[in-house]
Amino acid sequence: MKVCFSSEGKSLDSQLDPRFGRCKYFIIVDTETNEFKVVENEGFVSEHGAGVSAANLVVDEGADIVITRNIGPNSMKILTSTKISIYEGQADTIKANLELLKQDKLNEIKEPKKSHFGLQNRWGR
Amino acid sequence: MKISVLSGKGGTGKTTVATNLAYYLSKKGKKVQYLDFDVEEPNGFIFLKPEIKNTFEVKVKVPQIDESSCTQCGLCAKKCNFNALAVTKNGVLVFEKICHSCGLCSLVCPVNAITETEREIGKIEIGYTNNLKAVRGVLNIGEPMGIPILKNLKKLITPDYINIIDSPPGSSCSVVHSVEGSDYGILVTEPTKFGLHDLEIAANVIRQLGVPFGVVINKSDENDYIIEEFCEKQGIDIIEKIPFDRSIAQKYSKGELLEDKSFIEVFENIFSKIMEVS
């Protein structure tokens, strides 16, 4: 199973980025082999549709689960129609969240945040 | 002739200047049309109260995917510059509000599964107040992009009229769209630090566009020196001052035009200064 985290850094000790569309990196952990891969998020610098771009990337990487904190309506639509489950991270680091997921302690995100949440609602009127 | 009224800052008095100038010129028997380019909040009609004769819908093109011929190759989503498309297990998703209607997706699709359909984003209204023609664009609530409406409004600018353009506030994309190609720009400002700050930005923008311009100080009071110093340094003309006056505020709040003699002089001066330059 491939678990994808929105991350601020490139290692398993990095902080979980609360944003999905505009997080800096995605860290994808294969739970069978315990190997992980770091992918730079193109949505981070995207002028338009950061969430769509980020979600496209996650779909291309073949993730089964996404762990983040806030996800917008567009990204959510793409992930759910690709049957990717989304969980809300509780701990600070990627590693700790992975542990919580294994213990089944994370909640699934069912509702998206307002769009442009990552821009501190400058546009989310 | 095309005269744009812009401000850099919202709430400065663009609409007051634009509507009253248009009304004054039409009263003098000139062939004038007022065009409200502030499509997000067009409020010029509140003052001019035109009788609306024509309404047009403004539509933009969005891709429509024929699911039966789509192979889900994902090329459309990869090539889209605006990330308006996504390929999922349930077919291709189109995010209409991100789409810029460029049509690239339908060109790159190897199996011709994409056609373009139309989506309404707002409308244009044309009306008359006596012999003054008044036009406005209205963007539907929740729509993020007003530029397609501005493009349609621009087509209504005709050289045999004096066209008074009421620009959107700020100095963004849509302001550039409404001001470019003008014969003159009236920069409305107020004598505050905020007014000055935004005036500096707006003056830079209009200079880049190569449009001759002058400043009107609205809500003029003892702080005018802030604007005056800046204009002198930059060699910008101050063409008129509108006093900070309770009676203007009262008329504005009731949605009335300033028809008093004292104000007619103000608009007379503005127009004659413009005629000198352009």
A chain contacts of residue B87, beta-carbon cutoff 8 Å: 56, 59
Whole-model pTM? 0.83
E-assigned strand segments in chain A: 2-7, 25-30, 36-40, 65-68, 85-88, 107-108
pLDDT per position as a tens digit, A5-63: 999 999 999 999 999 999 999 999 999 998 999 999 988 888 788 899 999 999 999 99
Q: Which chain B residues are within 8 Å of A83, Cβ to Cβ?
A: 89
Q: Say what percent of chain B tops pLDDT 70.
A: 100
Question: Token pair for residue B237?
Answer: 């003309």
pLDDT score at A114: 77
Question: What per-residue confidence (pLDDT) applies to A124?
Answer: 46
Q: Is A85 touching B (CB cutoff 8 A)?
A: no
Give chain B's end-to-end CA distance (angstroms, integer): 9
How confident is the model at residue B8, as a pLDDT?
83
Q: Give contacts of A81 with chain B, Cβ < 8 Å.
A: 88-90, 93
Splitting chain B (278 residues) into consecutive groups of 10 residues, what average pLDDT does each group show? 92 93 93 96 95 96 94 92 89 92 95 95 96 96 92 95 95 92 95 95 95 95 94 95 91 90 87 85
Q: pLDDT grade, residue A117 (50/70/90)?
A: confident
User: What is the pLDDT, as a whole number, of residue B194?
Assistant: 94
Distance from chain centroid for Cα B249:
23
ipTM, two decimals, is 0.78
Residue of B88, B141, B172 for testing the chain A interface, max A β-carbons within 10 Å: B88
Angle among Cα B119, B124, B130 to the nearest 5 degrees reads 165
| Strands B237-243 and B213-220, bridge-based pairing | parallel
Q: CA B3, B5, B6: angle at the middle one, nearest 5?
A: 140
**What angle do the packed helices A73-81 and A50-60 form, to 10 degrees?**
20
Residue B171 burial class via C-beta count within 10 angstroms: exposed 0-12, middle 13-18, buried 19 and up: buried
Q: Is B138 helix (H, G, I), strand (E, B) or coil?
A: strand
